[in-house]
Structure 1
Amino acid sequence: MSVRITMVAAARSAPLLAERFDDDRPLDHAGWHEVQLAAHALVPLSAAELRYCSPTPRSRATGDALGFAPMAQPALRDCDMGRWRGCTLAEVTAREPEAVDTWLADPRSAPHGGEPLLAFITRIGGWLDTRPADDGGVIVAVAEPAVVRAALVYALKAPPSSFWNVDVRPLSTLTLTGMPSRWSVRLLTAA
C-alpha cells in the first residue's frame, strides 16, 4: 500500500526580504504572475484524488488559481511563531538577537513563545503519515514553503537543523511516494 503526495509551495505574498513570520497576506501581483507562468506544469496535479492546502490565504489562492479547489487542513499551517508573528527576521534579530541565535541553534527551543522547530517538523510528518495509503492514491497539497521544507526533512529523516539548509522556492514541488515513515523523495523547482 502506497500513496503519492505532491506538495506545492504557495506563490509569493511579499518580496523575499519583506516576508513575515505567520504571514496572512494574500498573493501579491508577482505571486499571481508566477502562478500564471507555472500553471501549465502544475494544473495536471488537479487530477489528484485528494486536494489540500494550508489554511493561509496565499495557499488557498494558489490552489484555487491552479484549479485544485483544495480543502484547508489545519495540520498544514505554518510554524506558530508566537510573539514574532507578523515580524520579519531582520526586525526580530534587531530586537532579540540572542533569542534568534537560540532558535536557529536549538530545534527544541521556542524563544518566541510559539512552536519549536522540532514540534513543527513532527506535526507535518504526522500529517504525511496519516494520509490514506490506498495503492496508487494521489494527493496534492499547497502549503507554505516552511511546511514543504519540514516535510522534506521528515521524509529524509534528516536532523532538524537541516531545515535551515533547504531553500523552497514559490511553486516548487516535492513529491513523496511511499507509506508512513518510508518515503521516497522527488524535489522540483518551478520553471
Structure 2
Amino acid sequence: MSLRLTLIAHAASTATRQASFPLDEGLEPQGWQKAQALAGSLGRVDGAWTAPSLRTRQTAQVLGLVAQMEPALADIDLGAWAGRALAEVAAAEPEGLARWTADPAAAPHSGESVLDLLARVASWLAGLQGQDGRFVAITHAAVIRAVLISVLEADPKSFWRIDVEPLCFARLQAHAGRWTLRSLGWNAGEAA
C-alpha cells in the first residue's frame, strides 16, 4: 500500500500580489491564467481535497479537480490582521509581528499560532495513513509550510524559512506509517 499526496498552493489572489493578509478573496486574473496553463496536467488523481477558501476552491476548479472541502487545510487564522496589508501591520504592531515570526507559540493577532497550525496539519496527515492512491490537496502556503515542518520533523522556528509561492507544490509519500518528501517545486503539472 502506498499513498502519494501532492499539495498545491492556490494560484495568486489580490492579497498575494499586494502583500496583504488575506480575507476570502478569489483569484486574480493572472493567477487564474497560470492555473489554467496547468489544467489537465496532473495525471492520475484518485481523490482531491481543497481548503474552504474561495481561492483554493477556484484553483481546484481551474485545474479540473473535483475536490472535497477539508477544514484542516484552511489557512492559518490571522485574527485581527486578516484583510490588512503587511506594511500596515508592521507599522502599527511591529512588536507583535516580530513576536509572531520569531515565536511559533505566539498569536498576537488573536488568531492561530504556528504551533496550533502545525498540530492541526499533523493530525490531518496522521488521519490519511492507511489510504492507498494518488491524492491532491489545494491549500495555502502556510499549510504547506506546516506539512513540511511536520514531515521533516523540523524545528517549528523554521516555518518562516520556507518560501511557498502560488502554484508551488510539495510531493509526499506515505509508506508503513512514515511520510517522505519526494519533491518540492514550482511546476505543479509534474506533481502527481
Q: Distance in 2 between matches of 1:184 and 1:108?
A: 26
Identity %: 39
Number of residue pairs the alignment of both structures matches: 187
Q: Distance in 2 between matches of 1:142 and 1:93?
A: 29
Bigger shift: 109-118 or 172-181? Answer: 172-181
Structure 1: gaps of 5 or more residues:
none
Q: Report if aligned partners of 1:169, 1:190 keep a CA contact under 8 Å in 2.
A: no
**CA shift digits 1:56-113 (9 cap, x unpaired):** 1110011011111111111110011111111122111110001111111110011111
Residues 183, 33 of structure 1: CA spacing in aligned structure 2 closer, same or farther, 3 A cutoff?
same
* CA RMSD of superposed structures (Å): 1.8
User: Which residue is 1:184 aligned to?
Assistant: 180
User: Which residue is 1:141 aligned to?
Assistant: 137
Deviation at 1:132, TM superposition (A): 4.8
Q: Distance in 1 between matches of 2:72 and 2:123?
A: 9
**CA shift digits 1:34-59 (9 cap, x unpaired):** 112233533x2xx3222100011110
SS in structure 2 opposite 1:130? helix
Q: TM-score, normalised by structure 1?
A: 0.90
Bigger shift: 7-16 or 121-130? Answer: 7-16
Q: Report if aligned partners of 2:48, 2:68 keep a CA contact under 8 Å in 1.
A: yes
User: Which residue is 2:79 aligned to?
Assistant: 82
Q: Distance in 2 between matches of 1:189 and 1:13?
A: 17
Q: Report if aligned partners of 2:39, 2:64 keep a CA contact under 8 Å in 1.
A: no
Q: Distance in 1 between matches of 2:107 and 2:176?
A: 27
Q: Report if aligned partners of 1:129, 1:179 keep a CA contact under 8 Å in 2.
A: no
Q: Distance in 2 between matches of 1:127 and 1:180?
A: 17
SS in structure 1 opposite 2:163? coil
Bigger shift: 59-68 or 125-134? Answer: 125-134
Bigger shift: 82-91 or 11-20? Answer: 11-20
